[in-house]
Structure 1
Amino acid sequence: MGFSRFFSLFLFCLIIVSCHEEKKNANINVQLDDLADWNIREYSLSSRKIRHEIDSLRLLPLRMYADEYTRKYYASGAPFLWITRSGIDEKADTLLAYLQKASSSGLRESNFYISELQTNLRRIRQLDFDPENNINAVFGRTEFLLTKAYLRYVCGQRFGYVQPNQIFNRLEQTDTTQKAPFRRLYDIETESADQEFVHKALSLLKDGNFTDFFQDIQPDNPLYRQLTDHYLQTQNPETRRKAIVNIERSRWRTPLAAHDKYVWVNLAAATLYAVNENKPEYLDMKICIGSPKNKTPMLQSRIERVDMNPYWNIPYSIVKKEIAPRHAGDEAYFSRNRYRIFNKETGEELPPVAVTSDMLTSGRYRVRQDNGEGNSLGRLIFRFPNNYSIYLHDTNNRQAFKRTNRAISHGCIRIEKPLELAVFLLDSPEEKTVNKLREAIGLPPLNSSVPIEKKEGEQLKVGIQRFDPSIPVVIDYYTLYPKPDGGWEESPDPYGYDEILLKKLEAF
């Protein structure tokens, strides 16, 4: 460093120190390069000491999935991302500006170490170090926390701060034994962060368009902006809590947005929406969902067909828990409910009095309910592939839709308007096809008021109507959602998922 430069710096410091009215740090805006030749211990940076500080930080517990990527990066001895010869790269200020916006969606600033980073950056830029905050410790903390906050933010905004499959699929065990597998309550294809995304994010810190990337990773779900605005506009604490968790749900990237015609089931609101984006129309209806003990899972699939006058093959779980222990051998019970028992291997029907509880729970026998009047599936059932034997179906209990709490089923979804849904989903609802559906459930044809009477002994018309193309269906869970005609729908939290999500969002 030249003498004139040294003298100017010395004179500047002397003037600042001598001025009692201006109590500013003399080292404001002094850069590390200015001190490079001084060899002053307090301002001597050591890569080894900085990495030692980082190593102590990366061993702290992981609180968000993105933290694992930060840990791996520094464990590999990779280059620093923020430290330069002049101190800390100015990109840190851009990052902090974005991090401070996160509070507008209900996230805590402490989740991104904003206060600590601001303090550290001030210390570095004013060369304000002391024995407890020596230069290498401050640089190490700043380097590590900037990367940690950066990856939390870009992964969280792009994919969600909580991974739904990790949360919901570890809530309930299939039985009471400790080693039992967990029930899968979330089976929606959801994008997630991976090493490729993280590598791109870190590479852009070095040589890419940093600000464009921040724009690209923002949620693309229109609900995100609507919910965020609603959060900022309301002062009701409970509504704000609902907004926070539903904003998080809107960050999860699912395939529904790619389709014009679809069925969206909101379990929390116990409501089904059938939507055709190409037409100014939608269909909504009440539904009954699984009880808290028999939660309906969140899933995605495609509705392939509607079956008319279906038989009900009773799930083994119901046979095991309800029918076998209470009603085995009770002929009156089986007759009253129109249940029949069949040998799975031979197809032979057995009289109820000949079947014991042990036989029913052996897995070798099937219990089936006759179709038609009184059948629990009603007259129409909508079939779509899934891992749970979950379907949308009619019901013989129409009174259930008058209830406020409709979380009452064994897991399947009972729908209020099955015929209307079937017609809505048809690609071309021709009169002949619609009449076929109406006839199957005992309604008169279109343009006729004469009901179809079933003759005694006549078999019910059993049939299938396929949907071509098949219709996407997503069974989801939102407790706060904009109504199609304006306003907001606040739903109860029948499965307690809001509280689980809120705790996860507050914990990292």
Structure 2
Amino acid sequence: MLHIKGRKSSSQGIHPISFGLLSICLVLVSCFGHGSQELSEAERSAFGEYVNQLDSAVTGAWFDRMGVSADADSVLAYLRREVPRNGLDTTAFFVPEIAKDLEIVHQLLFDSVGMSINEVLPRLNAHLSKAYIRYATGQRYGFMKPRVFNHMDPKVGNPGIFARVFDYDPALPDTSVAAKKMTESDRLAFLVSSAPDTYIYKALLREMDKTTNADKRHQLAVNMERCRWQIEHPKDVKRQILVNIPAQQLWAIDVDSVLDMRICCGAVPTKTPLLHSAISYMQVNPEWVIPQNIVKTEVVHHAGDSAYFARNRYSVIDKESGDTLNVASVGANALLSGKLRISQKGGVGNSLGRIVFRSQNDFSIYLHDTNNRSAFQRDRRTLSHGCVRVQKPFELASFLLSDVDEWTLESLRISMDIPPVTDRGREWLHKHADAPHPYRLISYHAVKPHVPLYILYYTTFPNPKTGAIDYWPDLYGFDKVISKELKWISEGSSSR
């Protein structure tokens, strides 16, 4: 053991932290400046001077019996590496300040910078603590509150009420967990483990590592923030359906295959909400019960217009009696009363198309076919009232019914007016050629087990079919909201 003859403190002995600081300084000098542990008399005297100046009240989470904990340097190294990898600004996590103060302590530069040890150590402790808690908590919960998305769009006619577009109730950040872990021996491991563990985050992080374009790095940083929110994220498992709004694309993922197709999603005033649910059943040739918000914004303007109702195959039914009313006698006030149900008959021309895929959610949002097939040829397909129209409805139904027999699929084809592919199907169609349309060999079919459905919003995303990171436009302006709320994105991540 190395012994030092320095000036004693004014107390009975050297404070434990003071002794630890002296010890670690000796180790650092031996490692970073000398080939042996022999120190000059001047060096011994210098150590003693600083140790004697240390106030016994100076304590902190980052000092131990050996002085400044080695974890301080480890945390600094981790933040220096990982903060830029996430597209964030190191100054938001006090990295320059921590590095400067650690250098002062390690090199005993107190006199050179005109600061006492009692100034530097408390400041170093505060910055390390703030950086640790801020980064660990941010990685675990997000650096912004996603609930802001439910306060974006005022409802028409009710400016004080906002339309919900985010069907999650994410947990609020809990800094106490990181604060407690900061004082424990595994604090560095906890900091590392705070990073999101989703396959999307890991893919975006790998893309960030090899991307130098500032605008792409900014876009990646925004989308990595989405991965941190405490919500249900897609898992890298089989049998799930992903709908990504900016991509205007759907992927039905199985263990050894991926079915992809275009979608049409909600227009900007009637955004498709982001949610996690599961497809539980499908209806073939469904009746469309027109939501009251569409009645208010569209149908009511045609009150009493029999030609409009006939052209669209709309019926007006009294909810209490079940009677179908003469549309010519139904005025605007009656349509808006909530006592009537306006519905569109199933079959050809129905707005839901020939099949709808139902899932439980608070928005009455579902996937469905459409009678407007040409819409899928558009580049921008934000045109629905919020539901998601799918380009390949039969293929999606086949994916959901992967374990059924061929006749079930053939019955589905016939019910959707798709030409049969089997002799049995062709024979059935020939025998029933004069039967009324639509054919209803299948009207309902359960999906067992239910298939997870995620409606997402990522403007950069690992394509489930190709594995490549794709970039898409910010159709709803959600990226701009994150950029505004997340003030810690590095300026070097954007050319703005």
Task: Give 2:380's aligned residue.
Answer: 405
CA distance in 1, matches of 2:88, 2:322: 59
Change (3 A) 1:382 1:29: farther
Query: Which of 377, 398, 414 pairs up with 2:352?
Result: 377
Task: Give 1:481's aligned residue.
Answer: 461
Q: Partner letter of residue 242 of structure 2?
A: W
Residues 452-493 of structure 1 deviation map (CA, whole Å, 9 limit, x = unaligned): 776365564261110111110000011122332354322111
Change (3 A) 1:140 1:6: closer
Task: Give 1:344's aligned residue.
Answer: 319
Which stretch shows the higher mean deviation, 281-290 or 448-457?
A: 448-457
Q: CA deviation at 1:496?
A: 0.9
Change (3 A) 1:45 1:185: farther
Task: Give 1:145's aligned residue.
Answer: 127
SS in 1 for 2:155: coil
Task: Give 1:169's aligned residue.
Answer: 150
Are the equivalent residues in 2 in contact too, given 1:33–1:85 (CA < 8 A)? no
| 1:302 correspondence with 2:302 | no
| 1:393 correspondence with 2:393 | no
Are the equivalent residues in 2 in contact too, given 1:342–1:348 (CA < 8 A)? yes
CA distance in 2, matches of 1:322, 1:444: 35
Change (3 A) 1:28 1:493: farther
Task: Give 1:496's aligned residue.
Answer: 477
Within a 5 Å distance, the mapping from 1:193-232 to structure 2 comes to: 193-194=173-174, 198-199=176-177, 201-232=178-209
| 1:160 correspondence with 2:142 | yes
Q: CA deviation at 1:345?
A: 1.7
* TM-score normalised by length of structure 1: 0.79
Task: Give 1:128's aligned residue.
Answer: 110
Within a 5 Å distance, the mapping from 1:30-45 to structure 2 comes to: 35=50, 38=52, 43-44=54-55
Q: CA deviation at 1:146?
A: 1.6
| 1:287 correspondence with 2:287 | no
Task: Give 1:92's aligned residue.
Answer: 72
CA distance in 1, matches of 2:116, 2:478: 45
Change (3 A) 1:133 1:318: farther
| 1:367 correspondence with 2:367 | no
Are the equivalent residues in 2 in contact too, given 1:344–1:366 (CA < 8 A)? yes
Are the equivalent residues in 1 in contact too, given 2:239–2:451 (CA < 8 A)? yes
Which stretch shows the higher mean deviation, 153-162 or 290-299?
A: 153-162
Change (3 A) 1:95 1:3: closer
Q: CA deviation at 1:376?
A: 0.2
Are the equivalent residues in 2 in contact too, given 1:427–1:468 (CA < 8 A)? no
Task: Give 1:66's aligned residue.
Answer: none
CA distance in 2, matches of 1:137, 1:175: 57
Residues 303-339 of structure 1 deviation map (CA, whole Å, 9 limit, x = unaligned): 0011010000001001011111x21111111111011
| Structure having greater relative contact order (Cα 8 Å, sep ≥ 6) | 2
Q: Partner letter of residue 75 of structure 2?
A: L
Within a 5 Å distance, the mapping from 1:60-71 to structure 2 comes to: none
SS in 2 for 1:207: coil
Change (3 A) 1:176 1:119: farther
Q: Partner letter of residue 470 of structure 1?
A: H
Are the equivalent residues in 2 in contact too, given 1:329–1:354 (CA < 8 A)? yes
| 1:271 correspondence with 2:246 | no
| 1:455 correspondence with 2:430 | no
Residues 230-282 of structure 1 deviation map (CA, whole Å, 9 limit, x = unaligned): 223233333222222222233446353174211011111010000012xx211
SS in 2 for 1:81: coil
Q: Partner letter of residue 119 of structure 1?
A: K
Provide the aligned C-alpha RMSD in A: 3.1
Task: Give 2:7's aligned residue.
Answer: 6
Q: Partner letter of residue 496 of structure 1?
A: G
Change (3 A) 1:445 1:459: closer
CA distance in 1, matches of 2:87, 2:268: 28
CA distance in 1, matches of 2:326, 2:351: 21
SS in 2 for 1:91: helix
Are the equivalent residues in 1 in contact too, given 2:350–2:370 (CA < 8 A)? yes
Which stretch shows the higher mean deviation, 93-102 or 234-243?
A: 234-243
Change (3 A) 1:229 1:368: same
Task: Give 2:444's aligned residue.
Answer: 464
Which stretch shows the higher mean deviation, 240-249 or 307-316?
A: 240-249
Are the equivalent residues in 1 in contact too, given 2:167–2:275 (CA < 8 A)? yes
Task: Give 1:185's aligned residue.
Answer: 165
Q: Partner letter of residue 6 of structure 1?
A: R
| 1:358 correspondence with 2:300 | no
Query: Which of 407, 427, 431 pairs up with 2:406?
Result: 431
Task: Give 1:506's aligned residue.
Answer: 487
CA distance in 1, matches of 2:114, 2:56: 16
Which stretch shows the higher mean deviation, 305-314 or 205-214?
A: 205-214
Q: Partner letter of residue 375 of structure 2?
A: A
Task: Give 2:88's aligned residue.
Answer: 107
Q: Partner letter of residue 399 of structure 2?
A: F
Residues 57-100 of structure 1 deviation map (CA, whole Å, 9 limit, x = unaligned): xxxxxxxxxxxxxxxxxxxxxx8422457654332211111111
CA distance in 1, matches of 2:75, 2:46: 21
Q: CA deviation at 1:430?
A: 1.2
User: What percent identity do the matched residue pairs reach?
Assistant: 35
Are the equivalent residues in 2 in contact too, given 1:308–1:440 (CA < 8 A)? yes
Task: Give 1:314's aligned residue.
Answer: 290
What are the ranges of 5 or more consecutive residues in structure 2 without an aligned counterpart?
A: 9-21, 23-40, 490-496
Are the equivalent residues in 2 in contact too, given 1:129–1:135 (CA < 8 A)? no
